[in-house]
Amino acid sequence: MRTKQIATVLFVCGVLLAAGVPAMAQDERPTRSVKGLVTDPQENPIEGAVVQLKNTKTLQVKSFITDRDGSYYFHGLDTNVDFQLNARLGNAVSRTRTVSTFDDRKEVVYNFELKVDK
């Protein structure tokens, strides 16, 4: 009889966990995002510029091509890794910006200016 009670309690606990009782998800690590604009010196948006995001731990590079409004957006970035960003179009390259592990912002905004020939 006692074995049946233990089995029932274990079954109920399993059902509660499977039913979605809030639990600490191991895969839910804090993340951050980086966004901004790429413009020319007159603050006109630059469409088609390439913004590169480099993970300084793995050296993996992700690229984003800016929209018509010159915007870019990277999300789901590990807060325990430093990242370097820059923007480029043709021969024009922006200065490199760093997203540091010591920066506790969840959303980092970096705007880039490119001096492009028109």
**15 has pLDDT over 90:** no
Per the prediction, the chain carries an average pLDDT of 85
**27 has pLDDT over 70:** no
Q: Which of the pair, 13 or 75, is modelled with greater confidence?
A: 75
- In angstroms, the CA 7 to CA 21 distance is 20
Q: What is the pLDDT of residues 41-77, one digit of tens each?
A: 999 999 999 999 999 999 999 999 999 999 999 999 9
- In angstroms, the CA 76 to CA 78 distance is 7
Q: Per-residue confidence at 117, pLDDT binned at 50, 70, 90?
A: confident
Q: Per-residue confidence at 116, pLDDT binned at 50, 70, 90?
A: confident
The predicted model gives 110-117 an average pLDDT of 92
Long-range contacts of 86-89 (CB under 8 A, 24+ apart): 86/51, 86/52, 86/112, 87/38, 87/49, 87/50, 87/51, 87/52, 87/112, 87/114, 88/49, 88/50, 88/52, 88/114, 89/38, 89/46, 89/48, 89/49, 89/50, 89/114, 89/116
Domain 31-113 superfamily per CATH: Immunoglobulins (2.60.40.10)
Q: What's the helix, strand, coil split of the chain in %, to 5? A: 15, 40, 45
Any idea where the domains of the chain sit in the sequence?
A: 31-113
